[in-house]
Amino acid sequence: MKKILLLYMTVLFCLLAYSQEPTFVKGDKYEGYIFDKEHFVFLSIDNQQGRYTPSEDNIEQCEDILKRNLGNYMINNHISPSGIPIYRILPHYKRQYVGFITKDNEIVIWINFLRYSYTDLSKDIIWVKDGGSNFWSIFINLTKKELYNMEVNGEA
């Protein structure tokens, strides 16, 4: 039993030691952190081949797709956030970016949006329950230039 525990602790230590710090990225009306493909994330996507580390160019592409398409996406999918529409206040959100690669070699970026954060967003992915449109996420398929699976947190 001690050997198994020691092995488990050694593997965990190696994973933590080799994971890179998230990279800060800032562009025109957005800022956030890119999480490396080695950073543990309790999330997967359909048809996933593995994780992917987004580049700053990938993030710029995501933000462009988001700005051009979010309003129509929300209307077409009947997403009704409380208060001001999210697409009108995008610059107010800090972001966390996590990349995936599909079995079809498509690049997918999951973006976690936080309007208010009382913790360092570079340490780990923030998971929030409730809070309405102050906390939401969306997937962007960069290969297809599509938004999908937007989730706006519920109200308490």
Mean pLDDT of the chain, nearest integer: 84
Domain residues of the chain, as ranges?
21-152
Whole-number Å distance between alpha carbons of 61 and 52: 15
Which has the closest alpha carbon to 147: 86, 33, 50, 63? 63
- Calculate mean pLDDT across residues 31-37: 96
- Calculate mean pLDDT across residues 101-126: 91
In the predicted model, is pLDDT for residue 69 greater than 90? yes
Q: What is the pTM of this model?
A: 0.82
Neighbours of 80 (CB within 10 A): 10
Predicted pLDDT of residue 81:
60
Between CA 87 and CA 107, with CA 36 as vertex, the angle to 5 degrees is 60
Pair type for strands 135-141 and 23-27: unpaired
Looking at residue 121, what DSSP letter applies? T
Confidence band for 113, pLDDT divided at 50, 70 and 90:
very high
